[in-house]
Amino acid sequence: MTDIITELHDMSYLNWTKTRKSSGTAGSFLKAYDDTGKKKKYYKLSDYDQLNGIVGHECINEIVVQRLLQKLGIKHLEYTLVHAAVRIDGKEYETYLCESEDYKAPGESKLSLEDYYAMEKEKDESPLEFCNRKGWDTYIYEMTVIDYLVLNRDRHGANIEVLRNPKKKADRLAPLFDHGLSLVCRCHTLQELEHYDVLEDKRIQSFIGTSSALQNVRIVPKSFLKRLPKLTENDIADIFEGLEDIIGEAYINKMHDMIWKRWCSLDSI
């Protein structure tokens, strides 16, 4: 697959910095960038703990969700999963990280939806009402469906961005990004994985909606859902091609089960 580079790359030159972690769990998500080439590239790691090293698999989740978005024809930030040797706090690690490029067009600047809403909202207008007034309802429906299918826990107001072009007096929402805190991201052992209920409606962060992905997806009109491509179980299986030796069969089977059962449940919600 073109979105996975399995050859080991020496990326020990990258300088990693901590980023906002709003999930309430221990550890950090580290980010870096490289602007020495023609295009600036951005990198991020899975959950990192100073004591135990890289303990998460959020970068793999990004690829899984990216492929699901492709199946559904939904615009998104494109990631590449790179097998890399990195250095953090003076220690060497071999891992898989996510690489992406800047999604802003020339002349655009970015602002979190949370900040943009605070600046531009009308009195007593909710974030959902604000987005509908801006004509972003289709985007919100797409985001809400995908966040339900993968149980994205982290759709806070900075994980949705507005791209602004002052000269053209135009603004648009950035392609969907940052889906690492999803699927079975809380399962760090096979025992946790075995007991994980893929349909449980766990508490999430959602700037647009509520703390329930199930409640949020109920705002999506049935007419919109009917326009989505009709996924089959084989379509879901295709999403995991090339990941077998990276995360293992048990995790793949559980993620497949989660996406498929949640997809099938949309008809009855």
Amino acid at 191: Q
Q: Are residues 47 and 158 in the same domain?
A: no
Contact 78, 126 (CB under 8 A): no
Cβ-count burial of 3 within 10 angstroms (0-12 exposed, 13-18 middle, 19+ buried)?
middle
Measured in degrees and rounded to the nearest 5, phi and psi for residue 78 equal -95, 125
Q: Are residues 248 and 120 in the same domain?
A: yes
Q: Are residues 132 and 240 in the same domain?
A: yes
Residues in contact with 23: Cβ distance below 8 Å, sequence separation at least 6, in sequence order: 153, 154, 181, 205
What's the number of domains the chain is made of? 2
Q: Are residues 162 and 240 in the same domain?
A: yes
Average confidence (pLDDT) over 122-131: 97
Q: Are residues 15 and 54 in the same domain?
A: yes
For residue 17, what pLDDT band results from cuts at 50, 70 and 90? confident
Q: Are residues 114 and 61 in the same domain?
A: no
For residue 20, what pLDDT band results from cuts at 50, 70 and 90? very low
What CATH number is associated with residue 131?
A: 1.10.1070.20
Identify the pLDDT of residue 19: 58
How do 30-34 and 170-173 pair as beta strands?
unpaired
25-29, 156-160, 161-165, range with the lowest pLDDT: 25-29
Its domain, for residue 16, covers 4-101
Identify the bridge partners of residue 97 per DSSP, sorted by sequence position.
82
Using the 3D structure, point to which of 76, 101, 126 is the last residue of a domain.
Answer: 101
Q: Are residues 234 and 254 in the same domain?
A: yes
Using one digit for the tens of pLDDT, what is the confidence trace for 132-143? Answer: 999 999 999 999
Instruction: Inform me whether the pLDDT recorded for 205 exceeds 80.
Output: yes
Using one digit for the tens of pLDDT, what is the confidence trace for 229-254? Answer: 999 999 999 999 999 999 999 999 99
Contact 183, 150 (CB under 8 A): yes
Contact 224, 218 (CB under 8 A): no
Contact 162, 168 (CB under 8 A): no
Question: Which of 78 and 38 is assigned the larger pLDDT?
Answer: 78
Contact 254, 187 (CB under 8 A): yes
Q: Are residues 153 and 182 in the same domain?
A: yes
Computed over every residue of the chain, the mean pLDDT equals 94
Identify the bridge partners of residue 251 per DSSP, sorted by sequence position.
none
Instruction: Inform me whether the pLDDT recorded for 26 exceeds 70.
Output: no
Give CA–CA dist 84/110, Å, rounded: 29
Query: ∠ at Cα 173 (128, 109), nearest 5°?
Result: 130
Instruction: Inform me whether the pLDDT recorded for 126 exceeds 60.
Output: yes
Using the 3D structure, point to which of 101, 136, 151 is the last residue of a domain.
Answer: 101
Q: Are residues 169 and 60 in the same domain?
A: no
Cα 17 → chain centroid: 19
Using the 3D structure, point to which of 79, 101, 123 is the last residue of a domain.
Answer: 101
Average confidence (pLDDT) over 202-221: 96
Give CA–CA dist 90/93, Å, rounded: 10
Q: Are residues 201 and 262 in the same domain?
A: yes
Identify the pLDDT of residue 27: 52
Identify the pLDDT of residue 23: 40
Instruction: Inform me whether the pLDDT recorded for 25 exceeds 80.
Output: no
Instruction: Inform me whether the pLDDT recorded for 90 exceeds 60.
Output: yes
Give CA–CA dist 162/92, Å, rounded: 37
Q: Are residues 201 and 126 in the same domain?
A: yes
Q: Are residues 145 and 175 in the same domain?
A: yes
Residues in contact with 81: Cβ distance below 8 Å, sequence separation at least 6, in sequence order: 3, 4, 5, 59, 60, 62, 63, 96, 97, 98, 99, 246
Give CA–CA dist 107/225, Å, rounded: 35
Measured in degrees and rounded to the nearest 5, phi and psi for residue 167 equal -65, -40
Measured in degrees and rounded to the nearest 5, phi and psi for residue 103 equal -100, 0
Q: H/E element holding 165?
A: strand 161-165
